[in-house]
Amino acid sequence: MKQSGSALVEALVAAAIVMMSLTTLYQAVADGTKRVRMGEQRSMALLVAQSALASVGGVIPASPGRSSGTEGPFVWTVEVKPFEPGGGSQRLLSVSVDVKAGDGPVPLVTLQTLRQSDAP
C-alpha cells in the first residue's frame, strides 16, 4: 500500500511538470505569433508612409500645411512645415508622415525628410 501511494504522488508530480511545460510552450508560441503579426502590421504601415511621402508635390501640395487620409486599416497624416536651419537661401520644407493603426494613439511609423518648395 505504501508503494502504490508513492506511485500516485509521482504520477501527480509528473503530470504537474508536464502541464507547466505545456503552458510555457503555449505562451512562447502565442508571443511569437503576436510579434509576427506586429511586424507585418509595421511593414504595411511603412509602405503606406512611403506612398504618402511620395505624394508630396503631386497629390499633396508641397506647401506648409497638414493633410490626412486613410489607407485600409491605417490613418496617415502628412505635415509640411518651413525648414530654416540658419538663414539659408534655399527654401526647404520639412515633411513628416505619421501612420497609425486606426484610432491608435501612437504612430506605428514616422518618416521625415526635407523637400524643396515648389513656390518661388
* CB-count exposure of residue 80 (10 Å: 0-12, 13-18, 19+): buried
Count Cβ atoms within 10 A of the Cβ of residue 8 and give its class: 0-12 exposed, 13-18 middle, 19 or more buried.
exposed
What pLDDT does residue 29 have?
94
pLDDT digits (tens, 9 = 90+) for 21-68: 999 999 999 999 999 998 999 999 999 999 999 999 888 888 888 999
Whole-angstrom distance, CA of residue 55 vs CA of residue 68: 12
Phi, psi dihedral angles at 55 (to 5 degrees): -80, -15
More confident residue, 61 or 118: 61
pLDDT at residue 1, as a whole number: 46
User: Quick one: pLDDT at residue 90?
Assistant: 66
The domains located in the chain, with CATH, are: 2-116 (3.30.1300.30)
DSSP for 29-50, written as a single string = HHHHHHHHHHHHHHHHHHHHHH
- At residue 120 the predicted structure's pLDDT band, cuts being 50, 70 and 90, is low
